[in-house]
Amino acid sequence: MQAGFFSTDITPPIGAVRAGNYSRIFIMGVTGAMKVRAAVFEQDGYRVGIAGVDCCSIDRSLIKKALDHVLELEKIQFNETIISASHTHTGAAASSFVDLDLVAKMDPKIAALTKDTAVPSEWYVDWVARQLATALIMASRRIEPARISTGIGEESGFTFNRRLFLKDGRAYSHPGKMNPDIVGPAGPTDPSVGVIGAWREDGTLLGCLVNFSCHGTTYGSAGTHADWYHFVEETIQRIFGSETGVVVLNGPCGDVTQVDNQSTSVDFGAAVCRRLGRRVGAEAVKVLCGSPRHAFTKLAGLTKVVPIARRVPRPDSLPKAWEDVEAHRADPGHPDAVFGRERLYAAELARLQPQKPVILTAVQIGDAVLLSNPAEYFTSLSLRIKAESPFPNTLVVELANDCIGYVPDKAAFDPKTGGGYETVMTAYSNLIPEAGDIIADNLIAMSRSFTPEAAPEPPPFTPGKVWDYGRRGPDLD
């Protein structure tokens, strides 16, 4: 197998539209570089492109632009790609929470409301697409023979489910730190640190893929920053060298962040960001150092587009949504205005496109499989996928190859015990409650269409004999 890695810069300037919010806000400062980090794997002409992009979300139209550039400039076609948004909340908007391809077909009154949302600037989208293309092209040019290592580490105690049950029996998103009514978390976390390494024959590390599940919200709002993903890369490169490629692929974390609502901890800021990134990076280093390297030859992929129905807002709820929007014209960031606007979007999306095409991709690399989906996916669903996958090393990647917003588990929609803003009907969260399980069922089936590659058997072992030095003693006089 061959592998190559490359990274490019996509740091936005001050004044660009910032992502990670339902309202229109702007970048007020830049405190760290934003990147596209890419890897290419190839075996017998079969080529896979994998990239992590420092942005909140990335849609299929931007990815298509990038792949079109790759084809035009280098005549390279990938058999499969997994292009994933890191989900940092402080970067510039590279895609919109609203499907912009459908906005032109919306009721003009509703389409006009997008001026109050984080619609990306065309020049930035174009630049990110070109830089993504550059990273994939250069990674392709740099491919060389590689031995592959795979493994799963664990980093626990620094991520928490942000949905908690209160004494009234319902689940709430971020109900307030140390709220005396908190009973406990409404879902799990996933401490797994999945790692795939590509090594030269001389033992040096070409690069690696790292998969871990946590929101990109640790840095806070002090300025544009790549969040904890940056410090994963920095930690690994300090051990293996600055030229080592590091592609961080965020795992399903639609309900998991660094915020511990059941303690008085400080949960935001550069120190918090650095601490989480270094811990994940250090765990990845341990996995890389401790995993055997094999001459794997199995590289395969599969993409499936699954249509999933959208939820439809009650018609009698729409006049109230308009009232909320009109009542807060002077303050479009008011929560009532935000969710009134979002309900109107959701209604139009359901009318124009009753079923959302959901892109699912599986890529096998030796005895590991990457399973990607385009959602902010709940962690409980990811854990089920991992439990039912036949691969010993299963890496589940979210917000990949498109963006369909929050996809909670079915329990989150329970009329009595469910809740949390992830379940509210918006342009970003509008698929039916069964969507999470539909995605899981398909990804599990896709993983089962491959057979994990067995590591080569070690040579026969000859039992040893007692060492001459070791048979001597004890001397007491």
SS3 370: strand
Give this prediction's pTM: 0.94
Residue 283 banded pLDDT, cuts 50, 70, 90: very high
Q: Per DSSP, what are the bridge partners of residue 429? A: none
| pLDDT tier for residue 160 given thresholds of 50, 70 and 90 | very high
Mean pLDDT over each residue of the chain, to the nearest integer? 94
With cut-offs at 50, 70 and 90, classify the pLDDT of residue 48: very high
Task: Return the percentage of the chain with pLDDT > 90, whole number.
Answer: 85
User: What is the tens place of the pLDDT at every residue in 378-426?
Assistant: 999 999 999 999 999 999 999 999 999 999 999 999 999 999 999 999 9
Q: How confident is the model at residue 467 (pLDDT cuts 50, 70, 90)?
A: very high
Q: Which amino acid is at 226?
A: A
**Averaged pLDDT, 363-386:** 98
- Encode pLDDT of 172-224 as tens digits: 999 999 999 999 999 999 999 999 999 999 999 999 999 999 999 999 877 88
User: Is the pLDDT reported for residue 18 higher than 90?
Assistant: no
- Decide: 435 and 376 in contact? Cβ < 8 Å: no
Rounded Cα–Cα distance for residues 80 and 195 (Å): 20
Per the CB < 8 A criterion, the answer to whether 415 and 254 are in contact is no
Q: How confident is the model at residue 123 (pLDDT cuts 50, 70, 90)?
A: very high
- The pLDDT of residue 476 is 92
pLDDT at 46: 97
Q: What residue segments make up the domains of the chain, in order of their start?
A: 2-305+353-448
pLDDT at 221: 77
> SS3 for 302?
strand
pLDDT(115) > 90 = no
Contacts 24+ apart (CB under 8 A), 103-107: 105/352, 106/345, 106/348, 106/352, 107/348
Q: pLDDT tens digits, residue range 129-154?
A: 999 999 999 999 999 999 999 999 99
Q: How many CB atoms lie within 10 A of CB 318?
A: 16
Q: Identify whether the C-beta of residue 382 lies closer than 8 Å to the C-beta of residue 256.
A: no
pLDDT at residue 248 is higher than 80: yes
Backbone φ, ψ for residue 72 (5° rounding): -65, -45
Q: Where are the beta strands (DSSP E) in 226-298?
A: 245-250, 256-257
Give CA torsion, residues 44, 45, 46, 52, to 10 deg. Answer: 110
pLDDT in tens, 291-345: 999 999 999 999 999 999 999 999 999 999 999 999 998 998 899 999 999 999 9
Residue 376 has pLDDT above 90, yes or no: yes
